[in-house]
Chains A and B, each alone.
Chain A
Amino acid sequence: MSRKRALIADTFCLTKRRRCAADSVTADGAADIRSSLQYLMTLFSRKLFNDSLPPVVLKHQLYSLHNDKTSVDKQVNELRENGDLLMFQLGFDSEAFALVFAEDYRTKVLQGEAGRETLGTVEKFLAKLIPGCSDLSFNKEKMLKEFLFTDPAITQLVKSGVLTVRDAGSWWLSIPNSGKFIKYFIKGRKAVLGMVKKSKYGEILKTELEGHHTTSQVKFQMKYHIHEIMGAELVESIQTTSGTLLRYVDGNVN
């Protein structure tokens, strides 16, 4: 008898599936992503930024919680189309996307803008952005013609931090005051990866890493970073009898 558990195709598991209660897959799935997002948002440390940033989650952190990456992508896109979620290109990696709930984004941006003269333009921009548009970047014609902004208005938006320059005549959508976030994030990620690399044999149990004392480089919670490196596949996660083992993968740039 072979000790290894053989992979069995779905077609041969018919009887097992019939016994399970039939639940509506889509409704469950979408609710799952939303609850995972909310859980990840709780891991985000607000106090670090003096409450000026909305809770930010990275899209690949979701991959560490759910197995099927394609369905995660689909559900995230659905939420974006509904206008509940906003996605941002962070700039340090072409594949790293940040997700923020739309209401959180709106409240924080308006809170940051209160009392400044750019408030009016920013409000107008947010009103156009949140229900309808799910783009990550905007170019000049779109801003001028569709959104009916003038050039000085665009300059005001860049000044307020809602847009960042991408190229001559096009801008990325961005989170105001996110520079500090990105800096701490990159430093923290490097430090956590270093911790995994330095451990004996280059591997460490996930629970052990969570309990590790954080160095001064790591400003966020360890769990936040761990979900991130697992989802981005910067470490290999192996299931063992003592839990999940994280093994450092060679050939990482970071």
Chain B
Amino acid sequence: MLSFLYARQSGLDDPVRLRRAESTRRVLSLELNHNRDVDRIHGNGINTLDTEVIDGRYMLSGGSDGVIVIYDLENNSKKPQYTCKAICTVGRSSRHVHKFSVETVQWYPHDTGMFVSSSFDKTMKVWDTETLKVVSELLCYSSHSALLCSVLAVGTKDPKVQLCDLKSGSRIHILQGHRGEILSVRWSPRYDHILATASTDSRVRIWDVRRASGSLFTLDQHNGDKSKASSEAVNTAHNGRVNGLCFTADGLHLLSTGTDDRMRLWNSGTGENTLVNYGKVVNESRKGLKFTVSRGCSPEFVFVPCGSSVAVYGLHSGELITMLRGHYNNVDCCEFHPDYQELYSGGKDCNILAWVPVLRQPGIEDDETNSKRGGTQAAINPAFEDAWSSDED
């Protein structure tokens, strides 16, 4: 570690290198911390989590009871023990609450003024964060959606993808091509017009929304080697339902998970299966699975909910790094916070658990000076101390 700092200081190394090495070290030491808690508001399982992109401060969660909660993740108290408070809730008593389970919530990508939620009650609601009222509502038989700028892509049960414009509140066009219910929709972070959809017909399709005709290509797990598959399974991404999609942060690769207990990594430009073998990634979910990829680390990591724990895999090597155990029931969603390298996961046990990197333990000399200072003052994180305020005030 010291060698990295010295290399950066003397200009031998790029500044990014130190940042990446430290982020990787922090991700590898993720653990459940008794100091960090998230308020427990949901009475039923948590289906989806989303952190806003601008500050990384506010987190949305949607639950199986239709309740949507917004949490403040930032630690302003100077104590290490911190509970992420729920700032506001769209509870069952609200007039606009969803009737059934909320499947996807997503912040508007440019500010926290509004967010979108989609649910099993066949509606998609656009909410104003200040007043927590519904601004516009769309009727569609869907439960999975993704938001980019002002275009919302909704995957529906009758197998088509509906694109809706939020500015006008109307539907723009329909992408046809799948033959089964669509379980996951994702926009590419690299190009604004590329969309990936996964469905129960075992196929993953990549679309260019500017084109009027069908999909760009379908992902094929055998890379066109038709001899490997049985004849029905030709040209499929998985040997079962595909229920999770995630782009890597640079948009160059796409991960998909399926009920055949496999996870595959694809090159998002050519649609080629990179054949990284993650082994058996247990997947029994009947609805969409939300998993996430780390950002800013040197070997990137994939965090996949597997039963009641979260499995961490190396993205390109395919090896299982560790399993994060802590939930009491199935984990449904997880969300990575890139600035603090923290992972939040929510599941059927109504808990959102925060996995925080274990800090380096303070040395023995620090402990002694702390006790000398007196027991009245709680141990203050030295990062919050300043050189000019006085204790006597």
A residues in contact (CB < 8 Å) with B: 1-2, 6-12, 63, 67-70, 72-74, 89, 94-95, 135-139, 166-167, 170, 232-233, 251
- CB of A137 within 8 A of CB of B227, answer yes
B residues in contact (CB < 8 Å) with A: 1, 21, 24-25, 28-29, 225-231, 233, 239, 260, 275-280, 282, 284, 298-299, 317-319, 321-322, 358, 361
Determine the distance from Cα of A137 to Cα of B282 in the docked complex, in whole angstroms: 29
Q: Counting chain B CB atoms within 10 Å of each CB, which of A7, A67, A233 scores highest?
A: A7
With a CB–CB cut-off of 8 A, which chain B residues contact A73? 275, 277
With a CB–CB cut-off of 8 A, which chain A residues contact B298? 9, 11
Tally of A-B residue pairs with Cβ under 8 A? Answer: 72
- CB of A2 within 8 A of CB of B231, answer no
Whole-angstrom distance between the Cβ of B240 and the nearest chain A Cβ: 10
- CB of A94 within 8 A of CB of B275, answer no
Known A7-B321, A94-B229; contact A2-B358, beta-carbon cutoff 8 A: yes
Look across to chain B and name the residue whose beta carbon is closest to the beta carbon of A233.
Answer: B280
The 4 A-B pairs of least Cβ separation, nearest first, read: A69-B277, A233-B280, A135-B227, A7-B28
With a CB–CB cut-off of 8 A, which chain B residues contact A167? 230-231
- CB of B25 within 8 A of CB of A9, answer yes
Dominant secondary structure of chain B at its interface with chain A: loop
With a CB–CB cut-off of 8 A, which chain B residues contact A95? 239, 260
Determine the distance from Cα of A232 to Cα of B262 in the docked complex, in whole angstroms: 12
Determine the distance from Cα of A170 to Cα of B233 in the docked complex, in whole angstroms: 14
- CB of A94 within 8 A of CB of B29, answer no
Determine the distance from Cα of A135 to Cα of B275 in the docked complex, in whole angstroms: 17
With a CB–CB cut-off of 8 A, which chain A residues contact B275? 70, 73-74
Determine the distance from Cα of A25 to Cα of B361 in the docked complex, in whole angstroms: 37
Given A12-B21, A69-B279, 16 further pairs, Cβ under 8 A: A1-B361, A2-B361, A7-B321, A8-B25, A11-B24, A12-B25, A69-B278, A73-B277, A89-B228, A94-B260, A95-B260, A137-B226, A137-B227, A137-B228, A166-B230, A166-B231
Determine the distance from Cα of A89 to Cα of B226 in the docked complex, in whole angstroms: 13
With a CB–CB cut-off of 8 A, which chain A residues contact B280? 232-233
Determine the distance from Cα of A15 to Cα of B297 in the docked complex, in whole angstroms: 21
Look across to chain A and name the residue whose beta carbon is closest to the beta carbon of B24.
Answer: A9
- CB of B230 within 8 A of CB of A94, answer yes
- CB of B28 within 8 A of CB of A8, answer yes
Whole-angstrom distance between the Cβ of B110 and the nearest chain A Cβ: 34
Whole-angstrom distance between the Cβ of A199 and the nearest chain B Cβ: 22
Whole-angstrom distance between the Cβ of B114 and the nearest chain A Cβ: 39
Determine the distance from Cα of A8 to Cα of B136 in the docked complex, in whole angstroms: 49
Q: For A138, give its contact among B227, B260, B276 (CB under 8 Å).
A: B227
With a CB–CB cut-off of 8 A, which chain A residues contact B228? 89, 136-137
With a CB–CB cut-off of 8 A, which chain B residues contact A8? 25, 28
Known A10-B299, A67-B319, A94-B239; contact A251-B25, beta-carbon cutoff 8 A: no
A selection of 27 A-B contacts at a CB cut-off of 8 Å is: A1-B361, A2-B361, A6-B28, A6-B29, A7-B28, A9-B28, A10-B299, A63-B279, A67-B319, A69-B277, A69-B278, A69-B279, A70-B277, A73-B277, A74-B275, A89-B228, A94-B229, A94-B233, A95-B239, A95-B260, A135-B225, A137-B226, A138-B227, A139-B226, A166-B231, A170-B231, A251-B282
Determine the distance from Cα of A12 to Cα of B319 in the docked complex, in whole angstroms: 19
Known A70-B275, A233-B279, A233-B280; contact A7-B29, beta-carbon cutoff 8 A: yes
Whole-angstrom distance between the Cβ of B368 and the nearest chain A Cβ: 17
Whole-angstrom distance between the Cβ of A141 and the nearest chain B Cβ: 12
Determine the distance from Cα of A97 to Cα of B225 in the docked complex, in whole angstroms: 15
Q: For B317, give its contact among A6, A70, A232 (CB under 8 Å).
A: A70
